[in-house]
């Protein structure tokens, strides 16, 4: 046996060789046997000696393994177990039973909530029962009525022709013997055909009543029997149980929805009918408004959402090649497809980062905007002077958001039909000007209606009688004042009037 040291490599390596001769044994040693030193001693020589001594003992067979612990053998019959699951002992403790009870309670609570939410849809049990009752009634009625109606029409036509032929035969003179005979034969023939048609109609009605009675007995007999027998055996409680069983049977019969059974009046529902705004609804609306093609669809940037005021809004991308202006021009068609008024729909192009030519925001108000009572404006709540050089709050938009404008170095025109609020809109701007002490008011009322009278005491020049000559004098004074102000600006070396000036 050759042993290679595992320590650091040196220039020269000394090998220890042990030769074992079979049958030879060591000399008898009466001294007590010393234990083999542990490997990894202090020096390389000690380690080498320990390895040699351990190898010698192994080869001589003097090393005896430690006795292994005896493992108790269990006499187990693996076939003795049945199919019942192995339940931990903890599950049978009070804590385990409480855990199972909690899981069961939560699962039943979730199931009840799902059931409640389901009742408001076409998958609810009431809707299923209505569907099932309609299907059962359609099955009871059957298709024999169509055949009966057709035979009734044929009998009516045959009787009408028989009456006309009999009238012709009766009014034909006897002197016209040939024509008289032909008319009589035709009257007899049509009368026979009419009687056959009437008899066929009667047989069809009898056959229809018979089949309907049989199907009605098969459809309505078991429910009536269940309710009647329940009432006879258990009174009102039994009748209630029978009614519940009937309701369950009808719900089972109508559990599957069939599109062909949809009410014709509900084929097209819209936002105005109370339906929520969805992506498929918007696709259909823009198709019906001829904004996009029948095979195109919108891309939802922001899915339809409902705000606190009950209004719907969404951000959409039109198909490639369709600008947002095309949809904004078709606002009347879109409002009609949504089932609302034009004033309830507001479509604006998105602005800022991420804006695109084909991206717009659609907003649909729940009620017609500006039909409720007006609230006090923000100018009435001012406790200090207003700043006419800044932005003026003029009121909310159709979404209820505050709108402000800047009127310095701008001209404005307010228009609308009578009662639309032109005077109120103009007075908002005039109130902001009147609340700024730096503003000098020159006002003229072209119709003399008295809309500007509240500002008369605050004006430097006021014309409220719609007098053309007085208005002309006011214009001449305004031109003279403008010339004086322009001359002052030139003297100061300024080109425009600023807030600081």
> What pLDDT score does 334 carry?
93
What residues have CB less than 8 Å from 238, skipping those under 6 apart?
Answer: 229, 230, 231, 232
- pLDDT beyond 50 at 196: yes
What is the pLDDT averaged over residues 176-189?
Answer: 87
**pLDDT tens digits for range 332-343:** 999 999 999 998
> What pLDDT score does 446 carry?
86
What residues have CB less than 8 Å from 312, skipping those under 6 apart?
Answer: 271, 276, 277, 304, 305, 306, 363, 364
Share of the chain above pLDDT 70, in %: 83
> What pLDDT score does 38 carry?
47
Confidence of residue 259 (pLDDT cuts 50, 70, 90): low
- pLDDT beyond 60 at 39: no
Question: Is residue 349 within 8 Å of 324, Cβ to Cβ?
Answer: yes
> What pLDDT score does 77 carry?
57
**pLDDT tens digits for range 45-59:** 667 777 777 777 777
Confidence of residue 97 (pLDDT cuts 50, 70, 90): confident
Q: Which helix (H) or strand (E) holds 313?
A: strand 312-317
CA gap 340, 272 in Å, rounded: 5
> What pLDDT score does 265 carry?
43
Structure tokens at 111: 């199931």
Question: Is residue 183 within 8 Å of 169, Cβ to Cβ?
Answer: yes
**pLDDT tens digits for range 450-494:** 888 889 999 999 998 888 999 999 999 999 999 999 999 999 998
Q: Which pTM value belongs to this model?
A: 0.42
Tell me which of 21-30, 96-105, 363-372 is least confident: 21-30
DSSP per-residue string spanning 177-228: HHHHHHHHHHHHHHHHHHHHHHHHHHHHHHHHHHHHHHHHHHHHHHHHHHHH
**pLDDT tens digits for range 400-450:** 788 888 988 888 888 888 888 888 888 888 999 999 999 999 999 888 888
Structure tokens at 450: 């008295």
> What pLDDT score does 441 carry?
92
**pLDDT tens digits for range 139-181:** 888 888 888 888 888 888 989 999 998 988 888 888 788 888 8
- pLDDT beyond 60 at 18: no
| Phi-psi domain of 308 (left: phi exceeds 0; alpha: psi -120 through 50; beta: other) | alpha
Confidence of residue 106 (pLDDT cuts 50, 70, 90): confident
Higher pLDDT, 10 or 299: 299
> What pLDDT score does 256 carry?
79
Architecture of domain 273-364: 2-Layer Sandwich (3.30)
- Of 50, 32, 30, 33, whose CA–CA distance to 41 is shortest? 50
Rounded to whole angstroms, what are the CA distances from 240 to 119, 130, 247?
21, 19, 10
- pLDDT beyond 90 at 376: no
DSSP 3: E
Higher pLDDT, 35 or 273: 273
> What pLDDT score does 474 carry?
92
Higher pLDDT, 120 or 431: 431
- pLDDT beyond 70 at 23: no
What is the pLDDT averaged over residues 58-70?
Answer: 63
- Of 145, 157, 160, 155, whose CA–CA distance to 204 is shortest? 145
- pLDDT beyond 60 at 264: no
What is the pLDDT averaged over residues 384-399?
Answer: 86
- pLDDT beyond 90 at 255: no
> What pLDDT score does 49 carry?
77
Half-sphere exposure of 320 (CA within 13 A, CB side): 0
Rounded to whole angstroms, what are the CA distances from 344 to 223, 271, 312?
50, 11, 10
């Amino acid at each position: 046996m050759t042993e290679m040291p595992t320590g650091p490599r040196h220039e020269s390596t000394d090998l220890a060789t042990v030769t074992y001769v079979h049958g030879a044994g060591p000399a008898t040693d009466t001294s007590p046997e010393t234990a083999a030193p542990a490997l990894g001693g202090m020096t390389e020589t000690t380690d080498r000696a320990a390895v040699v001594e351990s190898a010698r003992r192994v080869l001589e067979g003097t090393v005896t393994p430690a006795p292994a612990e005896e493992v108790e053998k269990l006499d187990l019959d693996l076939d003795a177990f049945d199919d019942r699951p192995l339940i931990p002992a903890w599950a049978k403790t009070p804590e385990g039973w409480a855990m199972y009870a909690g899981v069961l309670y939560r699962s039943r609570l979730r199931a009840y909530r799902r059931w409640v939410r389901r009742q408001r849809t076409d998958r609810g049990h009431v809707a299923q029962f209505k569907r099932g009752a309609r299907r059962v009634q359609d099955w009871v009625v059957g298709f024999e009525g169509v055949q009966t109606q057709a035979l009734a029409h044929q009998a009516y036509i045959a009787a009408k022709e028989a009456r006309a032929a009999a009238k012709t035969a009766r009014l034909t003179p006897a002197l016209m013997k040939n024509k008289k005979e032909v008319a009589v034969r035709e009257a007899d023939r049509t009368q026979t055909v009419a009687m056959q048609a009437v008899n066929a109609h009667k047989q069809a009605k009898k056959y229809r009543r018979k089949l309907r009675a049989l199907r009605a007995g098969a459809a309505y007999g078991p429910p009536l029997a269940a309710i009647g027998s329940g009432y006879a055996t258990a009174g009102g409680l039994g009748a209630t149980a029978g009614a519940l069983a009937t309701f369950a049977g009808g719900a089972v019969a109508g559990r599957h929805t069939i599109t062909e059974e949809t009410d014709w009046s509900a084929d097209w529902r819209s936002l105005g009918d109370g339906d929520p705004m969805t992506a498929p609804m918007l696709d259909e609306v823009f198709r019906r408004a001829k904004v996009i093609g029948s095979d195109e669809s919108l891309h939802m940037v922001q899915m339809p959402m409902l705000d606190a005021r009950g209004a719907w809004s969404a951000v959409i991308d039109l198909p490639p090649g369709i600008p947002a202006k095309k949809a904004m021009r078709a606002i009347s068609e879109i409002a009609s497809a949504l089932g609302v008024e034009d004033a309830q729909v507001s479509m604006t192009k998105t602005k800022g980062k991420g804006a695109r030519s084909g991206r717009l925001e659609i907003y649909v108000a729940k009620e017609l905007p500006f039909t409720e009572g007006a609230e006090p404006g923000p100018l009435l709540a001012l406790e200090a002077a207003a700043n006419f050089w800044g932005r003026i709050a003029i009121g909310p938009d159709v979404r209820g958001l505050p709108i402000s404008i800047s009127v310095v170095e701008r001209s404005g025109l307010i228009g609308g039909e009578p009662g639309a609020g032109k005077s109120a809109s103009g007075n908002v701007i005039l109130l902001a000007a009147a609340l700024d002490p730096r503003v000098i008011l020159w006002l003229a009322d072209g119709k003399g209606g008295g809309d500007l009278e509240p500002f008369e005491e605050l004006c430097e020049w006021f014309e409220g009688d719609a007098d053309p000559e007085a208005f002309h004098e006011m214009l001449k004074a305004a031109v003279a004042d403008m010339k004086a102000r322009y001359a002052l600006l030139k003297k100061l070396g300024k080109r425009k009037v600023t807030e600081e000036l």
